[in-house]
Amino acid sequence: MKRFRGLALAGLVAGGCLCAAWAQANPVDLAAHRATYHMSLSSSRSGSGMANASGTWSYAFRDSCDAWVTEFRLALTYSYAEGGQADTVTDFLGWESKDGLRYHFRVRQSRDGEVTDEVEGTARLNGPGQGGVARFTRPEVRQIRLPKGTLFPTAHTLRLLALAERGEQALARPLFDGQGDEGPFETSARIGRVITTPPDGQANPLLAPPAWPMRMAFFPTRGSNPLPDFEMALVYHANGVARDIEQIFPNFSLHGKLESIEALPRPRC
């Protein structure tokens, strides 16, 4: 199953210790929000067989007092150079405790109306910066070990944004998001220079500066290939909102343009 990271990606990215003391020392105020992105084919290599791709990515990020909840649906239609097309849908739901140590996930992928992949399970880390275990209940009951330093998606995003605000430029950590049953990816992220002006034509306070361009590469934890399985480039605002998303696979790339965004209410905890 191809993994769409972004925000649940939310989460996407970061590394290091995430606990109550860390959060107080490095405050990052994530915005609960709902966003819609228009997805399109931005490039394809000769011989890829890909003629076009388009669709919609609907994304919601919520605060549930003791956890962050991420939900998205990615619906894409692929058209092929030799004719024909395929309609694919990926539904994702993730629950991540605010101490960064517990994680629940559910992913379903379908092609032309038929379910092709279902992944569900839970994961737990033994402590900040430590390893842990992920337990799958679908597609089969099994468990895998998570290496030392593993982060779940929102903890990864929080850490990335904290590093960006301090002017740091790089981060490398294992990331586990449950999208697929292979286990965590080794990730390498580069943080660009801060953007201090709002995007053209956008007055929405959720898109207020500062923001940072970032590029992340995702490598399998096992394997000798020096090239990443895929990469992602995006602009992250300080509140965790993402825009100008580019997901880069070996033979083609997809671009996500932000079409709409709204704030979601915070719960009374």
The pLDDT tens digits of the residues spanning 104-160 come to 999 999 999 999 999 999 999 999 999 999 999 999 999 999 999 999 999 999 999
Cα–Cα distance, 186 to 20 (Å, whole number):
25
Cα dihedral across residues 33, 34, 38, 40: positive or negative: positive
Mean pLDDT of the chain: 88
* CA dist list (Å): 84 to 54, 87, 117, 166: 14, 10, 22, 49
- Decide which of 64 and 4 is more confident: 64
pLDDT at residue 4 greater than cutoff 60? no
The answer to whether residue 141 sits within a structural domain is yes
The answer to whether residue 55 sits within a structural domain is yes
Given a contact cutoff of 8 angstroms between Cβ atoms, the answer to whether 32 and 10 are in contact is: no
Residues whose CB is less than 8 angstroms from the CB of residue 201 and which lie 6 or more positions away in sequence, other chains included: none
The answer to whether residue 192 sits within a structural domain is yes
pLDDT at residue 195 greater than cutoff 80? yes
Containing domain of residue 245, as a range?
A: 20-263
- What is residue 187's predicted lDDT score, i.e. its pLDDT? 94
Given a contact cutoff of 8 angstroms between Cβ atoms, the answer to whether 211 and 197 are in contact is: no
- Decide which of 135 and 198 is more confident: 135
List helix spans (H) across 56-115. none
What's the mean pLDDT in 14-41? 66
What's the mean pLDDT in 10-18? 32
The total of structural domains in the chain comes to 1
The answer to whether residue 14 sits within a structural domain is no
The closest alpha carbon to 261, from 240, 241, 233, belongs to 241
pLDDT band at 47 (very low <50, low <70, confident <90, very high): confident
The closest alpha carbon to 70, from 256, 214, 264, belongs to 264
pLDDT at residue 63 greater than cutoff 50? yes
What's the mean pLDDT in 14-35? 58
The answer to whether residue 13 sits within a structural domain is no
- What is residue 222's predicted lDDT score, i.e. its pLDDT? 74
- What is residue 156's predicted lDDT score, i.e. its pLDDT? 94
pLDDT at residue 26 greater than cutoff 50? no
The answer to whether residue 35 sits within a structural domain is yes
142-146 and 132-138 strand pairing: antiparallel
Cα–Cα distance, 116 to 178 (Å, whole number):
16
Give the model confidence (pLDDT) of 232-262 as tens digits: 999 999 999 999 999 999 999 999 999 999 9
Element holding 216 (H helix, E strand) = strand 211-220
pLDDT at residue 25 greater than cutoff 70? no
The answer to whether residue 210 sits within a structural domain is yes
Cα–Cα distance, 53 to 188 (Å, whole number):
27
> Whole-prediction pTM value?
0.87
The answer to whether residue 251 sits within a structural domain is yes
* CA dist list (Å): 211 to 40, 144, 202: 23, 36, 14
